[in-house]
Amino acid sequence: MKKFATVFGAALMAGTAMFAVQAKAADELTVVSWGGSYSESQRKAFYEPFIAAGNKITEAEYNGEIAKIRAMVEAGAVTWDVVDVDTQTALAGCAEGTFEKIDWAKLGLDRSKFIGGDVTDCAVPNILYSTVAAYDTTKTAAPASLFEAIFDTAKYPGKRGLQKSPFVNMEWALMADGVAPADVYKVLGTDEGVERALKKLDTIKKDVIWWESGAQGPQLLADGQVVFTTSWNGRFDTAIKADKKPFQIIWDFQAPDWDWWAIPKGTPKLDGAYRFIAFASDAQRMADQTKYIAYGPANKDSAPLVDPAILPDLPSAPDNLKTVFYPDPQFWGDKGDELRERFNAWLAQ
């Protein structure tokens, strides 16, 4: 865990060298991401400049299901060329052979220049984001903590918006139930720990609206359907800045993670996939993405290129890291399928 904390905290403390990647004309690529304001930021920072350089891109969206990618690979019918994945998916897909191993020499990139570049051999880190909660300041008073916001339905009656996933929810449930952050995965790795997390979530189950795409959380809040909701920090930041919503992010126990570019094994457009990832990994282009969404660029050389006014809104800003909780992606890579099955069974009860 210290390794992940160290590399994440270093995101905005890196050097200043720049490099360029020459884009080449290529067959049309299908690039898959998460939709909403996140995909819009990628469109402006990466897709449109890549197209202007003579390439063609078809955009697609998904909700992070590795099963869809796995099915393509196993059938030998890969139609997605580059996919934006979270860390647990990157690790699991690498272990099972769903993703191509990355040839960094072919990319023309220095692996050591990327925060988290040594975490997996099958993906290139692109952004650092965080799962956080938020509320509408015109309707709800500031909570004392994240756990009060989510679990104290007596003080804050009303619905909560949570991602329809065990990831982060189970860790937060255990901490809200008194488990020390350092012990969360030791506890969650046992059957008793899983039951303890679900028992805590039982206390708010009837008060939860489950969301599946990142845009849904802020929309639930904007529509007044929930008093608190979780989502990814960049989605809330966009709602605050672009849509002028009176939202406040709760950075307490934020749960940071990376997103990555991965290449499904067997794509017939492997060279084009490499060209796109190299293009999108350029330090200036990664810095440009922060103009459109508040995620930290993984390229260390991007840090000094980010507008100083944007820095406090990134997950890696010092004031936002005071009670940070770093999820363990290796744990989720190993246990994710098992916990998702148990979580879905609990949801259906």
The string over 153-164, giving b where at least 16 C-beta atoms fall within 10 Å of a residue's C-beta and e elsewhere, is eeebeebbbbbb
User: Does residue 107 fall inside a structural domain?
Assistant: yes
User: Does residue 341 fall inside a structural domain?
Assistant: no
Q: Are residues 40 and 118 in the same domain?
A: yes
181-185: long-range pairs with CB below 8 Å, 24+ = 181/253, 181/325, 182/1, 184/325, 185/328, 185/331
- Which CATH number is 211's domain given? 3.40.190.10
Q: Are residues 265 and 124 in the same domain?
A: yes
What is the average pLDDT score of the chain? Answer: 91
193-202: long-range pairs with CB below 8 Å, 24+ = 194/170, 194/339, 194/342, 197/166, 197/169, 197/170, 197/171, 197/173, 198/170, 198/173, 198/342, 198/343, 198/346, 200/151, 200/173, 200/174, 200/176, 201/169, 201/170, 201/173, 201/346
Residue 7 has pLDDT above 80, yes or no: no
337-348 per-position pLDDT tens digit: 899 999 999 999
The pTM score is 0.75
Per-residue model confidence (pLDDT) at position 329? 84
Which is higher by pLDDT, 205 or 65? 205
| Per-residue confidence band for 111, with pLDDT thresholds at 50, 70 and 90 | very high
Q: Which domain holds residue 310?
A: 2-129+257-320
Q: Are residues 51 and 122 in the same domain?
A: yes
Q: Are residues 299 and 225 in the same domain?
A: no
User: Does residue 110 fall inside a structural domain?
Assistant: yes
Per-residue model confidence (pLDDT) at position 100? 98
Q: Are residues 105 and 141 in the same domain?
A: no
Q: Are residues 142 and 223 in the same domain?
A: yes
Per-residue model confidence (pLDDT) at position 303? 86
Q: Checking phi first, is residue 206 left (phi over 0); if not, alpha (psi -120 to 50) or beta?
A: alpha
Q: Are residues 124 and 261 in the same domain?
A: yes
Residue 129 has pLDDT above 60, yes or no: yes
22-71 per-position pLDDT tens digit: 334 347 999 999 998 899 999 999 999 999 999 999 999 998 889 999 99
